[in-house]
Structure 1
């Protein structure tokens, strides 16, 4: 029998143990709670970072700078990429498949020092990044990428690439002053930025972005987890800039300007082709004797006294204001006139007597222009300079355009208006002259010139398109028509006859400007120029040519009619061939009305026909219906073709022809 004391002792002992156990449990619970609080609250960021480091991988994707292309899509500035090859040692270490891939890369593709790398990996097992090769070219990169993805099925950036973009330029010696270049600046020490030309003007569109991307893995790091960001496709590439420049016109212009630049031993030669009805710049060409000037776009950054190419602007202004008419006459006497104790002479001793307004332009009479300018007040004269856009920049979409060198009419001396009438005493850029002249012959409207047609992404979606911007009406359509007629006569039987092309209606004006210096005008040195357009009845092309200080044994061989007008003729002839432009006296028929001897029988073509002697237009007419792509080189008529005549058409999807 157990006594009550004994039972009381047992109960007391049990209670004591229970209390001790409870206290112990409570103690450990307090420790656990304290630890949890420490981990989850006090040291939360520390442990979160540790977890993120274990399951997240962050890397950067560098996009490509946008391309600059001509109107047809020919790249003029593009990227040639080199790559750095790197590994993530944490993923590669103890991963046999990745190690096998590295071994094969070292053996068959690029040397990465596999054996030395294998020995170092244990000490790099906590590192995220290790470079194993630099300056790997695109084709090698693609080989290695195909190997690791297709053969070794590596999908989690065990081996990865980092891009280093090189900017390349097509025919840099021709396009650099327009397209521009990239380089490092104080604001962009880590990456190149546009510092000249289109590269600079459109930097915000062209520049590439660097995108940071994260991958999330299981703790073993051998399985990548899908995330919402996988659905988000963000392009890091810059936008592509399509110029209004037509490479084929550029090629023609460049070749002819260079030829005359060399022949005349000039200090500078330039050419410009515009659409006078829109302000689109279609081609530009600049050559300099001094290589230091090759990066200067002299079409917008150099000022010249234009000389006689300026005269049509003043004649048009006088006619618009009602001060003169085409049939008005002016007595230029013996070829000289005195104004404010200065004698102004004709450039040719044969320019004498009574001249009509049209003859003043045809014979390029300086004295006649002085007499015309006498009819203007200073205020009216300046009003038209402003209307022609010659008191401000044209706002062409290129950086660095100079403002015309002009003074307010209140500051003019008595001679200023008279000399400006024949293109002296005013300094403007070639683009300003071409833009103003366009308004004389296009119906009377001044347009803002532009060199960029559109901006698009890699997917071809256009995000911006430049359209013709009308600045103001300068003269009426009637006066513009009369000016075209008078300027056509300048080419037909005036100083511009060296620009004439048989069967085609050409208009234009020569210029032979004296070159000013600190001590006055240089003796025997000229800026020879010609500005012309065609077809004269409906101008589609306006072209300006300038040659600075051309050399010749006979002084008049340095004049615009002898130096620049022939270049216009040669360029225009090649454009006519290139575009199959019909003569002005032949009615143009649309494609639906034109007949070509493409197939004399009613049977469908089954063999490649003989294309020799045909124009590009005829070839496209014949083969276009068959869905065959035609690649054309040269100008003129078909000289050679591939595939040859008689080849079965069912085997052909592309044809190459050379024109000569």
Structure 2
């Protein structure tokens, strides 16, 4: 029996061995078949992915909720030196419709469209038409750049328990909009941004990389609650710019330029008061630009508005200024290219982008070159008979006094005071072209100042060289004709002339800060070189002081009441010679005994029959300094004459009348002061004498003052400096003084006075 069991076990073992071998063979075959199947499947997947991968990817994603959006950065702010905001970025919202989500239920469509038309100025028919044509669209912008106040009513409906459940497929895309709170203030300096948030012109362009940040991103696959697998990369905001500008001083300057244009617009011909009017005020001791403006202005919040083109000259394709004036008729005939060319001319900053011959404002530079080089001692005298022959056989070059037989015997100081061309030409001959050209380069003529603004002109090809300067060119260059400069070159060089010889690089930004207020970088003043010695600088200050206060000075009308200033007038005839078109100017400093600021005003071709009269510039200087110097706590040093006292009183009366008009809406009558005869008549040039001006037009003393606000609780008028005044009379009052108040519906000023923002501009 045991033997039988053993035999059976042996047979079972044999049978098991036979089964295992067969199975192994089968498994091997099966393994290779499966491997081949996987290989074929893999190859097929590769081919599908290569040929149709994107199509299937879109199909898969369309069946899931996927949230991905850009988080915009906030462009940095631009502020004046005291924190007044010149450019800011405010958050706005784009109204976006997701048709696919809205179409999930019919009640969603009706409820959503009803809410949209109730809260926004959108067309129901347009929404329905778009939805019918694009039922699966998930991104359709209905309205752009809405403020929070504009979207708040709709969000209230969304959050309403009853109505909100029927509003689906609407969301708000965040972005930032560039806003300029003061509209036209410092338009040339600040610049503006394009729709893609890129800076154009001015600080916006020059510091675009600093002002720009980095967009963030929020993305991930989302569940029904839209809160799973969310990844957020925060945006990095741009840095802020703190400028050297003082909004109060800037506002004064812009207001005075506007007044000039209002006075002389259409005076002798159709058009603005001049082709261009520019003004720069600079701290002579560090290069800070306190104010920079040129007229006409433009609105930074609406830079393509064509209203400010009216009265300007047409610019042709080559950039040359034409005689044609832009009016409603010519404006209507412009094609897009022509219109854009005119706007580009408007947006340019005249103070840094345009070049012109400086005229007699060059004379202090010529004298300084002679004194510093030792070619002049300052004790020389010159005989002026009204003209000087430079090259035998050629026409003599005339002085402004040629009609009266010349200036006679003049000293170096007298030559500056009287602005004698003949004396300056003789000085130029003594100095020589090599020395004069060397000092011209030291003063940065022909070189860029590298001011931190976009658009500074290059003048390297517009100045004389050793090869191009002959005897006649040396003579005319000595009194500022034959070569071109920019306003920023002149004021920076002149500041070094009167501050002891120290040439500072002019600059617009003092520091860069982060969004939390921390200082990223301080931009210190850059002292580049010393152009002249302290002793030469002192002499130039004395000579320029005589221009304003000397008996024969040409700049009497630049002096503000109660102050002594120094400076130099300038008149230069434009090309071609003999066209009787002039650029007139005044460059000066205040106060005379301890210069703190330099001021430079240029009037490019005044709207007058007789343009060669520097008083078009000096009157602006006087008007500006009358307000700027008290604001800067620079006190009067000179007694007031009866006439000056009366003038200041009239300005006070005009100020009060202006305040009253802003409250009552009544017009203020003009208080015109008659203009005097021309004092700066030195604009002679090679071959053609400049005729003396007689002074045309009246200077309007009535000024636009800051708007007053009305305290709704007390009824007092509140000036920008906090002074409380009677809204009827403009008189300052105590808080306890009872007022005879107007009715509550009295029309008030709307607070949109151009060029008046930034604080109290009153000198009183």
Matched, 1:338 2:389: yes
Q: Do the aligned partners of 2:217 and 2:235 also contact (CA within 8 Å) in 1?
A: no
**Deviation of the 1:441 alpha carbon:** 0.7
Q: Do the aligned partners of 1:531 and 1:542 also contact (CA within 8 Å) in 2?
A: yes
In structure 1, how many angstroms separate the alpha carbons of the residues matched to 2:506 and 2:470? Answer: 32
Q: Do the aligned partners of 1:112 and 1:133 also contact (CA within 8 Å) in 2?
A: no
In structure 2, how many angstroms separate the alpha carbons of the residues matched to 1:205 and 1:279? Answer: 22
Q: Do the aligned partners of 1:68 and 1:75 also contact (CA within 8 Å) in 2?
A: yes
In structure 2, how many angstroms separate the alpha carbons of the residues matched to 1:245 and 1:281? Answer: 6
Structure 1 residues 643 and 371: alpha-carbon distance in aligned structure 2, compared to 1, 3 A threshold: same
- Partner of 1:475, secondary structure, is coil
- Partner of 1:332, secondary structure, is strand
Matched, 1:401 2:456: yes
**Deviation of the 1:159 alpha carbon:** 5.8
- Partner of 1:516, secondary structure, is coil
Give the alignment's TM-score, normalised by structure 1: 0.73
**Deviation of the 1:532 alpha carbon:** 0.9
- Partner of 1:374, secondary structure, is helix
Q: Map 1:535-550 to 2 at 5 A.
A: 535-550=591-606
**Deviation of the 1:379 alpha carbon:** 1.1
Aligned length, in residue pairs: 582
In structure 2, how many angstroms separate the alpha carbons of the residues matched to 1:53 and 1:320? Answer: 83
Q: Map 1:279-428 to 2 at 5 A.
A: 279-287=287-295, 289-290=311-312, 292=342, 293-326=345-378, 328-341=379-392, 342-348=395-401, 349=404, 351-404=406-459, 405-428=462-485
**Deviation of the 1:140 alpha carbon:** 3.0
In structure 1, how many angstroms separate the alpha carbons of the residues matched to 2:346 and 2:103? Answer: 55
Matched, 1:239 2:239: yes
Q: Do the aligned partners of 2:74 and 2:89 also contact (CA within 8 Å) in 1?
A: yes
Q: Map 1:186-197 to 2 at 5 A.
A: 191=196, 193-197=198-202
Find 1:134's aligned residue among 140, 143, 146. 143
Structure 1 residues 107 and 436: alpha-carbon distance in aligned structure 2, compared to 1, 3 A threshold: closer
In structure 2, how many angstroms separate the alpha carbons of the residues matched to 1:642 and 1:136? Answer: 44
**Deviation of the 1:133 alpha carbon:** 4.1
Q: Do the aligned partners of 2:215 and 2:235 also contact (CA within 8 Å) in 1?
A: no
Q: Do the aligned partners of 2:723 and 2:732 also contact (CA within 8 Å) in 1?
A: no
Matched, 1:507 2:593: no
- Partner of 1:569, secondary structure, is helix
Which residue number corresponds to residue 705 of structure 2?
none
In structure 2, how many angstroms separate the alpha carbons of the residues matched to 1:38 and 1:642? Answer: 93
In structure 1, how many angstroms separate the alpha carbons of the residues matched to 2:582 and 2:93? Answer: 53
**Deviation of the 1:147 alpha carbon:** 7.1
- Partner of 1:267, secondary structure, is strand
- Partner of 2:455, secondary structure, is coil
**Deviation of the 1:471 alpha carbon:** 1.8
- For the aligned residue pairs, the C-alpha RMSD in angstroms reads 4.9
In structure 2, how many angstroms separate the alpha carbons of the residues matched to 1:346 and 1:330? Answer: 16
Which residue number corresponds to residue 93 of structure 2?
83
Which residue number corresponds to residue 57 of structure 1?
67
In structure 1, how many angstroms separate the alpha carbons of the residues matched to 2:472 and 2:139? Answer: 76
- Partner of 1:529, secondary structure, is strand
In structure 1, how many angstroms separate the alpha carbons of the residues matched to 2:398 and 2:454? Answer: 39
Structure 1 residues 174 and 224: alpha-carbon distance in aligned structure 2, compared to 1, 3 A threshold: closer
Which residue number corresponds to residue 650 of structure 1?
none
**Deviation of the 1:421 alpha carbon:** 0.9
Give the alignment's TM-score, normalised by structure 2: 0.64
Which residue number corresponds to residue 72 of structure 1?
82
Q: Do the aligned partners of 1:300 and 1:400 also contact (CA within 8 Å) in 2?
A: yes
**Deviation of the 1:175 alpha carbon:** 4.0
In structure 2, how many angstroms separate the alpha carbons of the residues matched to 1:10 and 1:132? Answer: 81
Matched, 1:162 2:170: no
- Partner of 1:340, secondary structure, is coil
> Any idea what the Cα deviations from partners look like across 1:216-268, whole Å, max 9, x if unmatched?
54xx43262477x55x6432x43333332222212111121232234344332
In structure 1, how many angstroms separate the alpha carbons of the residues matched to 2:363 and 2:14? Answer: 127
In structure 1, how many angstroms separate the alpha carbons of the residues matched to 2:722 and 2:484? Answer: 38
Which residue number corresponds to residue 263 of structure 1?
263
Structure 1 residues 91 and 463: alpha-carbon distance in aligned structure 2, compared to 1, 3 A threshold: farther
**Deviation of the 1:581 alpha carbon:** 2.2
Q: Map 1:187-266 to 2 at 5 A.
A: 191=196, 193-207=198-212, 209-215=214-220, 217=222, 220-222=223-225, 224-225=227-228, 233-235=234-236, 237-264=237-264, 265-266=273-274
Q: Do the aligned partners of 2:97 and 2:142 also contact (CA within 8 Å) in 1?
A: no
**Deviation of the 1:176 alpha carbon:** 3.8
Q: Map 1:485-504 to 2 at 5 A.
A: 485-493=542-550, 494-504=553-563
- Partner of 2:572, secondary structure, is strand
Q: Do the aligned partners of 1:280 and 1:450 also contact (CA within 8 Å) in 2?
A: yes
Find 1:178's aligned residue among 156, 174, 189. 189
Matched, 1:455 2:528: no
Structure 1 residues 426 and 104: alpha-carbon distance in aligned structure 2, compared to 1, 3 A threshold: same
In structure 2, how many angstroms separate the alpha carbons of the residues matched to 1:129 and 1:102? Answer: 15
Residue segments in structure 2 that go unaligned for 5+ positions in a row: 265-272, 297-310, 314-341, 640-717, 739-758
- Partner of 1:251, secondary structure, is helix
In structure 1, how many angstroms separate the alpha carbons of the residues matched to 2:178 and 2:235? Answer: 23
